[in-house]
Structures are given as structure tokens and as C-alpha cells.
Amino acid sequence: MIDLLGPDRLLDGLDAAAGAVIVVDVQRSFADPAHLGGYGLDTEASAALVAAIDRMGVLVDGARALGLPIVWVELASDPAAPWGSSNWLHGGDPLVMSDEEPCIVGTPGADWYGVHPAVGDIRVRKSRYSGFLGTELDGLLRAAGVSWVAVAGLTTECCVASTANDAMQLGYPVLLPTDAAAAYEVRLHENAVEQLALSVAKPTTVDALLAAVASQRVAVVGA
């Protein structure tokens, strides 16, 4: 059982105003029940997914109200450049992208689902698990003065974990609002949170994260 950190001391050593929220892969291929038949979600996992998307909305709205940048990382699968190793791992032809591939550019599966970018938000397209690998994400964050990140989205054990791990190794302290992430098995989500808490991210909740940012910013204004 992982202890989720509350707002007290959650941002110790960090500047609340220098954070950003990264939302990973909340797209139809990964979030819309109409696209998830092949993943075999049970009732508990389905409910957890719906709840997590709702909490992502609360996180995005709250962070935006507090002045934090929102970064949307989206998978953009390109049939002209198939990810051979991934296709092979999942039983496909390493040289050909199947029509079943998630988030193919220009298809409904690539659309956002439940939460959506707003004008002025940062958007980054990726072709691998991590939002940092082969993208401009690191440069965009540094240009925006971001020094720590909160990573949310889908799925906890895959693209959320990969993005959080790379963020940490690039020097960004990482917070993981665990109620704003989900996997297709509750067990996988819980295991991923436990592993990330060991060496990558501080696990918390959406409410605790927003409260910590708000509290520090009020303290600075009142100083």
C-alpha cells in the first residue's frame, strides 16, 4: 500500500509557479469504451478509467486556474513510419502498421477524449511511449521556465510511467496524481504506482497537488 502525500510539504524545495501538468494519451484509442473491447477491462477497471478521466479534468481546470501550463502529449501513429519493435512485440509485422494500431494520425482514435486542450496550451506529438523521446517536450518546458512536472494520463504502467521516468532523468522532480491516471487492470495501475514511487515520482492526489500549489502561491503573495 502506497502512502499518498498530502499538500503539506509536497512541494518542499520547489517553486509552485514553476510547475507544469503533463497529460498523456487521453485519446479515443485508449479512453473511449467503444475502442477498448480488445483490452478486456473488467467492471472495476472500467469504473477506475472513467473516474481517472474525470479527475484529469479537475486537475487541468484547477492547474489552469492557478496559472500552471498544461502540456498535452498525444500519440501520433504514422503508417509511413511504423514502430517495428512495438508491432513485433504485439504479434504484428515489424515493417507494416496494422489498421488496428492505436491513435493513427487522421483517424477518430487519435482524437482527445473526455479532456481537451485549450488555446494556448502546449501540445506535443510522440511516436513512442515517452513524451520526451524524439520530441521537443524538454525544450518547450525549459523555454516556459518549468522546473517540475505532474504527470497524469493513460496508461499508468506504460506511457505515463515512461514519460515520468524520462522527466525525472532529465532533472525534473515528478509528482504523480494517482487518481488522474489509470490502467486496464487495477492491479497494473497499483503496481505501476508502487514502482514509480520507489525511484521516479512522489505519489499524491489531484486535490492535494492543487492545494499545495494554491497554498504556496497564497503564502508568496501574502509575504
Q: How much is the mean pLDDT over the chain?
A: 94
**What domains, with CATH codes, occur in the chain?**
16-222 (3.40.50.850)
Task: Mean pLDDT check: name the lowest of 40-54, 60-74, 78-92.
Answer: 78-92
pLDDT band for position 218 (cuts 50, 70, 90): low
Model pLDDT, residue 217: 67
Task: Give me the helix-helix angle, 206-222 and 43-65, nearest 10°.
Answer: 10
Average pLDDT over residues 33-56: 95
Give, in order, the Cα–Cα distances in Å from 165 to each of 11, 50, 95.
19, 25, 28
Full-model pTM? 0.94
Which residue among 8, 12, 15, 25 is the active-site one? 25
**Residue 220 pLDDT more than 60?**
no
Which residue among 103, 158, 159, 166 is the active-site one? 159
Cis amide linkage into residue 156, ω under 30° from 0: no
Handedness of CA 34, 74, 72, 51 (dihedral sign): positive
3-state secondary structure at position 102: coil
- Tell me the percentage of the chain whose pLDDT exceeds 70: 96
Is 159 catalytic? The answer is yes
Model pLDDT, residue 221: 44
Residue that wins the pLDDT comparison between 191 and 1: 191
- Tracing cell 509552485 back to the chain, one arrives at 16
Model pLDDT, residue 222: 47
Is 138 catalytic? The answer is no
Which residue among 93, 103, 121, 126 is the active-site one? 126
Is 103 catalytic? The answer is no
Can you say whether residue 190 is alpha, beta or left, with left for phi > 0 and alpha for psi between -120 and 50 degrees? alpha
